[in-house]
């Protein structure tokens, strides 16, 4: 079973994402900001991280940069999932090492498609 860490400061988004991901047979964990997510990855790296951009404590972009610098051997795939839909944001995310990018709002098919693209579904 693949594992996914859902990182979003919105409880509602985490709940929606969990519902979709569990329907796709993922084991789901949650984090409310980048700091929590980094701790979770260092403790037990998931296969894929679904990552919001704007969060308190540590943003998604800061998390991504920090994750890429860690010594975790099998780094998780990172799929940004954000309302920041401008080209500049997408380009910045790709340059920082994001594997895919979901523009909110999203539905089950969108999420499944993006997970397939990164080889996770």
Partner 1 sequence: MTLRPMPAAAPRVGATGIIAALLEQRTGQQLAPNRSWRLDATLKPLLRERGLADFDELVGALLGARDPSLADAVVEALLNQETSFFRDAGVLEQVVEAAAAMPNEGGRLRIWSAGCSTGQEPLSLAMLFAERGGDMPDIQATDVSNGALVRARAGRYSQFEVQRGLPIRRLMQWFDPVGEDWVAKSDLVDRIRYRRLNLASDPVLPGRFDIILCRNVLLYFNAGMRAKVLDALSCALRPGGLLVLGAGETVIGQTDRLEPSRDWRGFYAIAEPARRTA
Is the CB of 30 or the CB of 100 nearer to partner 1? 100
- The DSSP result for 15-78, as a single string, is HHHHHHHHHTT-EEEEESSHHHHHHHHHHS--SEEEE-SS-SSS-HHHHHHHHHHS--SSPPEE
Give bridge partners of residue 35 from the DSSP assignment.
none
Question: Which x/- pattern over 33-72 shows residues binding partner 1 (rule: CB under 8 A)?
Answer: ----------------------------------------
- Residue 94 binds partner 1, judged by CB under 8 A: yes
Query: Which residues sit at the interface with partner 1, rule CB under 8 A?
Result: 85-87, 90-91, 94, 98, 100-103, 106-107, 109-110, 113-114, 117
């Amino acid at each position: 079973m693949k594992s996914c860490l859902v990182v979003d400061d919105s409880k509602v988004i985490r709940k929606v994402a969990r519902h979709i991901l569990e329907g796709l047979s993922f084991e789901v964990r949650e984090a409310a900001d980048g700091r929590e997510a980094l701790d979770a990855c260092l403790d037990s790296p998931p296969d894929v991280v679904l990552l919001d951009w704007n969060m308190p404590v540590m943003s998604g972009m800061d998390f991504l940069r920090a994750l890429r610098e860690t010594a975790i051997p099998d780094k998780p795939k990172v799929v940004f999932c954000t309302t920041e839909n401008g080209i500049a944001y997408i380009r910045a995310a790709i340059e920082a090492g994001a594997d895919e990018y979901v523009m909110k709002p999203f539905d089950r098919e969108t999420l499944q498609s993006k997970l397939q693209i990164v080889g996770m579904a």
